[in-house]
Structure 1
């Protein structure tokens, strides 16, 4: 009887335990070993008890993916865990890139190809942020990462212009860092060429977590100094509306039902 080799690639959602999918919890429950950045295991809490934790720091993403495949290939049921949706700017891509490299003969780990992989989606930061303020993603939208660590800035800039011209609602991931503080303001200036200065912008920091903060500002008020790596920045399109009813405030992006109302 062959030994089952199982790797769960798990998105745990934005941080609130109530938003972790049941399938994600089941994957963690079935696993003996958990591979993640330590904060994610802390946020998951009790489900991670009595498991072997493999905590690798930020910047060790390739190491995490390799370790998870190695553990699963050795017969240990393993969960590789990331926040949000693990297929969106997260670890799932690295797992499949390593498998692709093995198939191309660029790696020497044939045992990886025997691993059963189950990708478990999670709620992404852009979905969590939109839900906190109404229905910002109600029409066509896209995401753009402002980190040029892995993607040339020229490519990122082209995508910002294309998204602006296409009038997409845009969620910016990795908006700023200690060494990278000008790209967000550049993106703002680009978008101001395509949509009104009054366009609503969501600044959602530590979404769904205990220290969550939510701000709705105008596009012309967006400034990188008010944002950090824990902040999601979502910019409405030219039709997005910020509506206020007393102390209540929402943002929604209409789909065109006005003609039918």
Structure 2
């Protein structure tokens, strides 16, 4: 009897994976994943059977992993956390009687937040601006509701060549509910090679620095910058 692990590898690279994720991958016979994700853990899977596919082959990948898991111990890998825009949901939707276990990982918003300070200290949400799975009108509605509810907002997939204006339009929605000095962080390649970050305010925000490898974090009404660090207060009373 085999088993399928749906493994979050975090930003990519051994040092930012959980010990449990590393152990599960080491104990797996077969590793399945998107080609770029496989490359990120190549040193960990040198002696294993590897099955990789390109972009937009998620259903094919999950089907193959489920089939193989009937007789083998298999890990299908996702960057970040597999339950946050990863493979866990699709695997569980497609599962019949296969034994499946989800292994969590460090999601992109948490990785990005650690680089710029503590922007996620109060109620917050993740919203993807990709309209491949979600209609853009619904995305804008979610931005509006999150902004009106004063959530800290982390934007995944914020900008691509095919939708260059979505980010600006969503920032304009947030401006209806936040002051101009509300901090915004742009973190590119969080906790991996090529890492960069910039801090802005709503008034000074420049979306030209944003790409698909970025996470954009928008503060709530109490967020601020202190000594170059992005902070969202939790509400503790600090002695003067």
TM-superposed CA distance for 1:259, in Å, is 6.9
Cα distance between partner residues in 1 of 2:138 and 2:63: 28
Which residue in the other structure is 1:231 paired with?
A: 214
Aligned pair 1:44/2:35, yes or no? no
More deviation in 192-201 or 40-49?
40-49
After TM superposition, the score normalised by the length of structure 2 is 0.96
1:131 maps onto 2:114 in alignment: yes
Does structure 1 residue 15 correspond to structure 2 residue 20? no
Partner in structure 2 of residue 107 of structure 1: none
- Find the residue that maps to 2:132 and give its secondary structure: coil
Aligned partner (choices 177, 199, 212) of residue 216 of structure 1: 199
Pick the aligned partner of 1:205 from 188, 198, 208. Answer: 188
Query: Which ranges of structure 2 fall in alignment gaps of 5 or more residues?
Result: none
> Which residue number corresponds to residue 68 of structure 2?
71
Unpaired stretches in structure 1, ≥5 consecutive residues: 100-111
Tell me how far 1:47 sits from its aligned partner: 1.2
Looking at structure 1, the residues matched to 205 and 15 of structure 2 have their Cα atoms a distance apart, in angstroms, of 31
TM-score normalised by structure 1 residue count: 0.88
Deviating 4+ runs (over 4 angstroms): none
Q: In structure 2, how many angstroms separate the alpha carbons of the residues matched to 1:116 and 1:226?
A: 43
Contact 1:184 1:223 in 2 (8 A): no
Residue-pair matches, total: 240
C-alpha separation between the residues in 2 aligned to 1:5 and 1:97? 19
Counterpart of 1:91 in structure 2 is 87
The CA RMSD over aligned residues, in Å, is: 1.3
Structure with bigger helix share is 1
SS of equivalent to 1:70: helix
